[in-house]
Chains A and B, each alone.
Chain A
Amino acid sequence: DTGVSQDPRHKITKRGQNVTFRCDPISEHNRLYWYRQTLGQGPEFLTYFQNEAQLEKSRLLSDRFSAERPKGSFSTLEIQRTEQGDSAMYLCASSLRGTYQETQYFGPGTRLLVL
């Protein structure tokens, strides 16, 4: 499968625990985005990278959230001291800067449930 992949697909954790999600973009894509989607809502932007540089962060991204893309390929999103309000689907998308429209292709998401 050459699309965007995410791991794990589901995560259940207890409040206060740390969790880390991984996203593998389409191989030649230099842009990588993280979004969060709650039930009945559209995806909300969290942050994005161009290669290894984190270019923008939403104010939704509290200091408990950190994202990295150390080699410009896969990315990780870590949530520290999880809260029940963090329960959501975390979506990753990738695109190729410089191509027409720079279409963002989404991964299947990681569904997080914080108990």
Chain B
Amino acid sequence: GENVEQHPSTLSVQEGDSAVIKCTYSDSASNYFPWYKQELGKRPQLIIDIRSNVGEKKDQRIAVTLNKTAKHFSLHITETQPEDSAVYFCAASTSVYGGSQGNLIFGKGTKLSVKP
């Protein structure tokens, strides 16, 4: 089955710096890669996602890149702010049953701390 590895487990940056979190996946059939942000005691919230037919996607200060050949994808956050502090999870999913998405396989998370 699919396995998703996520690095680093903790990341500390100064406000205004960039942060990069990397994930690798094992199943070449995986074709959907979302990123979730989870603040302490709250639900995971989707911040950006990408499909395997796209190499990069940006949304304001957040971008995700995908390398299908190497089976890895990365989250890039620019101009970090203290409110970006949270745990970030990457995930992977494959298509099942006529093209719809199946369940998500998550990485173990990265705790990002942005120091003012």
Interface residues of A (CB under 8 A from B): 4, 31, 33, 35, 40-45, 48, 50, 55-56, 58, 91, 95, 97-98, 101-109
Contacts and interface: CB of A to CB of B under 8 A. Distances in A.
Contacts of B36: 106
B45 interface: yes
Interface stretch (B14-22, B72-80, B102-110): B102-110
30 contacts: A31-B100, A33-B103, A35-B104, A40-B109, A42-B89, A42-B91, A42-B106, A42-B109, A43-B44, A43-B106, A48-B102, A48-B103, A55-B97, A56-B102, A56-B103, A58-B103, A91-B44, A98-B100, A101-B32, A101-B49, A102-B100, A102-B101, A103-B34, A104-B34, A104-B46, A104-B104, A105-B46, A106-B45, A107-B43, A108-B42
Contact of B109 (A33, A41, A45): A41
Interface residues of B, number: 26
A93 to B, nearest CB: 8
Contacts of B6: 42
- Dominant secondary structure of chain B at its interface with chain A: strand
Contacts of A91: 43-44
Contact of B44 (A44, A55, A97, A106): A106
B51 interface: yes
